[in-house]
Amino acid sequence: MTDATPEFRDPDDLRRRAGVRGDPDRDQHFLVDDRVLDRLAGYLPDDADRSHLLEIGGGTGALTDRLLAAGDRVTVVERDRDLAAFLREEFSEAVDAGTLDVVTGDALDVELPEFTASVSNLPYGVSSEVAFRLLPLGRPLVLMFQAEFADRMVAEPGSSEYGRLSVSAQHYADVEIVERIPPEAFDPQPRVESAVVRCVPRDPDYAVDDEAFFLRFVKALFTQRRKTVRNAIRNTAHISGIEDPDAVVAATDGDVLSRRPGALAPASFAALARVAWSASEVGPGQ
């Protein structure tokens, strides 16, 4: 790479050459604001390894173009066969040089490469599923979501947005909103504001006995978010798999039991889950 500012393809020209207009019914909202596109890769942490960048949902390649300048190698996953074929043709030089690989398929099903970081404008309809496929892999992520979803990811205990999504995302990474994007940055325009979330992987400051159980336990309790933790544990034993919910209640501090799930920090959920794990149907010795 050189110090000169690269000349990127115009997003509108890319869409014209691809022969697509975007289809809200198919979750296609193309990011066309050059200023936003230029900033996205820069939101990766300064020390992030950029040797192999992953993009989910390449579309017509406006972001792909910038990622090729920001990293050594890029893999794009695009489920639309026509758009995947267009990307291979439009960026044929990069494909031939081995710096770009275009994978045709659904990001929830395809085998992902050993990427070092991801920068993606996620399809909103599957953004949650894709995010939670990427987060456990422990790589820096810069992902665009609907703003409401992003607000829930970064929410703190006690806020109205705090919930299962907050605890689960913050279990894997430090998450923060780095930019809010208006509908006008897309074509066709979505009906909602968007937001860019940076996820920096780190180990949590608490221990869990079984990660799958911990996440299932958090999910179960938040189905009863208006109940006290005491009642939520008892009412959701069939979801979390706790064989003896009364034993969990008896082993838990009364102050915790009297709170509602939305008031518990992730570390408190972890402590509670450790107690619940020993009383679960799939716990130790089962």
185 strand-pairing partners: none
Q: Residue type for 105, please?
A: G
Span between the terminal Cα atoms of the chain, in Å: 56
Q: Do you find a cis peptide bond into 188, omega within 30 degrees of 0?
A: yes
Domains, the chain, ordered by start: 11-201 (3.40.50.150), 211-278 (1.10.8)
What pLDDT does residue 6 have? 78
Instruction: Indicate the annotated binding residues for S-adenosyl-L-methionine.
Output: 29, 31, 57, 78, 106, 121
What pLDDT does residue 123 have? 86
**Three-class DSSP category at 78:** strand
Q: Per-residue b/e over 207-233, b at no fewer than 16 CB within 10 Å?
A: ebbbeebbbbbbbbbbebeebbbbebb
Task: Find the radius of gyration of the CA atoms of the chain.
Answer: 21
Residues 141, 173 contacting (CB under 8 angstroms) = yes
List Cα–Cα distances, 161 to 167, 181, 187, in angstroms.
Answer: 11, 19, 28
What pLDDT does residue 179 have? 98
Instruction: Indicate the annotated binding residues.
Output: 29, 31, 57, 78, 106, 121
The tens digit of pLDDT for each residue in 194-216 reads 999 999 999 999 999 999 999 99
Mark residue 281 as left, alpha or beta (left: phi above 0; alpha: psi -120 to 50; beta: remaining): alpha
Residue 101 exposed, middle or buried by CB count within 10 Å (0-12, 13-18, 19+): middle
Q: What is the mean pLDDT of each run of 10 residues along the chain (286 residues)?
A: 73 94 74 97 98 96 98 97 97 98 96 97 92 97 97 97 97 98 94 96 95 96 97 96 94 96 97 90 58
Residues 229, 264 contacting (CB under 8 angstroms) = yes
